[in-house]
Structure 1
Amino acid sequence: MKELYTISEIANLFHISTQTLRYYDKIGLLNPEAVNPETNYRQYEQGQIARLAMIIELKQMGFSLLEIRKYCNVKRLDELEHLLEDKRRELKGRIEELISVEQQAEFYLKMIRLTREKHQDHILEISYLPRRHAYFIPVSFGIQDLDQYIAMVYKSYMRSGQRKETSRKGHVILSIDEESLRNQKFRTYSGIGLLTDSCVEGKNSLLIQEGLYATAAHIGEYYTISNTYRKLCSYIRENHYEIAGSSLETSVTNISITDNPDEFLTEIQIPVKQK
């Protein structure tokens, strides 16, 4: 005689509810071996315990009840193999998405910490910066037209057919040419672009060379950034360096991240060489 188990015993064994087992019975996923005609209690035998263990394992792997029922109704290795291959591809895609989300979270945490560090008087310094890539449009425009040109560069990039993803995520860069920097003209830009994870193709590809840069953190409203440019240029002269190229400017924290203007941080980088 087969040993039978009550629905409560099965539920306790697998740490699931009796309501779940009743639902599995209703949809034909796991029917009891017998139903007591007097008490209407469901009873299960050993083979159904093994089937329930497989159902739970497949469910933990992310299979839908419909997929599980389809497999359980045929129970063929080729069917299970097909399901597992599909699930593995799906999980791989989800893992890549989660890694991307984690990297984005790490980026913003880094930016928040950088903002705090810069507030602790680490404002002006000479740093060795690595090589970087950008999608860049050389164009002259005034600071008063900045919003218009930001919209333009995004639109241009999207229309360019570039498949490489912009880095964290599409940070705008601005440039002031060397002559303007030397002449203390800080309100007219010579180009605008987007930082990218790797080299883009075509005429808008810009390689930002590695090397020594004088860097400054501009903290506060953007319209006062000319003051920080002046301080940085003075810092370059006082430390016996000279300007060696166009500036690179990018927003680290702005109104998209915080509503507090005192927490806005724009980083200015000017390539330099020793006199």
Structure 2
Amino acid sequence: MKELFTIGEMAKLFDINIRSLRYYDEINLLKPEYTDKVTEYRYYSTKQFEILNTIKYLRALDMPIAKILNFFKYRDIDKLVHMLQEQQEGIVAKRRKLELIERKLQNRLTQIADAADTTYERIEEKYLSERKIAFLRKEISAEDDLEYPIRELELSNHLETVMFLGKVGVSVSKENLGQKKFGGFSSIFVLLENEDGGKGKDVILPASDYLTIRFQGTHKEADQYYLNLLKYMQSKNYALTGDSIEITLIDYGMTNDTSKFVTELQIPYKKT
């Protein structure tokens, strides 16, 4: 039976990169049985097969090298069980995080598809369930860039920047709507999903009947559509009950093509 194996033979036997074997040697995880002092060739023995098998097994479980080193330093069954349990807990946490990311992706894909395949400038009467938002009361001009207020909203509510895409909204106050003044906003908010984190105080938009309209453009083109909604409301003898909800569903965060921008206006009302 062959007693010593070159590093190349060892790599082929275990389907492992030669570079990895050299690295394991450098960090004292798997030292060769013998190294020729003249040629510096590394030779391994069958006694090291089990060690390399264990290393490969633990690496297949995504075990960090530092933990594997520590295990071989104090090799013990109880230590192995504890190490595997810790790794299992880490994998469960990673799986939950990936599931969270998957839900966020699906939510955003659904929103984009809905916004892209929409009928523009059509007024609809909708009942919308209560929605959770992170909210910042702040007077903002319709001509202002919203990026700074968005950062203020983010910081004041300890929100993650990644949750903002396609979910930021502004409101025109009920008072200004009644006076047909659309040049400024009374607040800025972000719609929260169940998956969103944050340490700020959440606000609930109560369930209500809304008049809604979608149009191609951004907040700066909203005035005419507010007028259309208010005119419709008056024709139906409906009463305005609160601030507007104005959300840019598709904007510069998603595309440079301004013809694809989509904004939705929502005005709460009640029948009289």
What is the TM-score with the length of structure 1 in the denominator? 0.75
Q: What amino acid sits opposite 1:168 in the alignment?
A: M
Residue pairs, 1:1-275, within 5 angstroms: 4=3, 6-7=5-6, 10-32=10-32, 42-45=43-46, 47-118=47-118, 120-121=119-120, 123-144=122-143, 146-147=144-145, 151-152=148-149, 154-155=151-152, 158-159=155-156, 162=157, 168-169=163-164, 171-197=167-193, 206-237=203-234, 241-275=238-272
Give SS of 2:145's match: helix
Checking the alignment, whether the CA contact within 8 Å between 2:32 and 2:42 is kept in structure 1 is no
Q: Once the two structures are superposed, what CA deviation does each residue of 1:41-79 show, in whole Å capped at 9, x if it has no partner?
A: 73532x533222210121122233343233123311233
Alignment RMSD (CA, Å): 3.8
Q: 2:133 touches 2:205 (CA, 8 Å); kept in 1? A: yes
Distance 2:23 2:186 in 1: 67
Give the letter aligned to residue 57 of structure 2. E
CA deviations 1:185-237 (Å, max 9, x no partner) are 322333333334579999x7532111221211131243211112222333445
**Aligned mates of 2:76, 2:179 — CA distance in 1:** 78
State TM-score, norm by structure 2. 0.76
Q: Tell me the matched-pair count.
A: 267
Using the aligned pairs only, state the percent identity.
Answer: 24
SS in 2 for 1:72: helix
Q: CA 1:154 to 1:28, structure 2 compared with 1: closer, same or farther past 3 Å?
A: closer
Change (3 A) 1:207 1:17: closer
* Aligned equivalents of 2:265, 2:242: Cα separation in 1: 13
Structure 1 unpaired stretches of 5+ = none
Change (3 A) 1:273 1:74: same
C-alpha separation in 2, matches of 1:156 and 1:25: 52
What residue identity is the alignment partner of 1:210? Answer: A
Alignment partners' CA distance in 1, 2:262 and 2:124: 16
In the alignment, structure 2 segments of 5+ residues that lack a partner are none
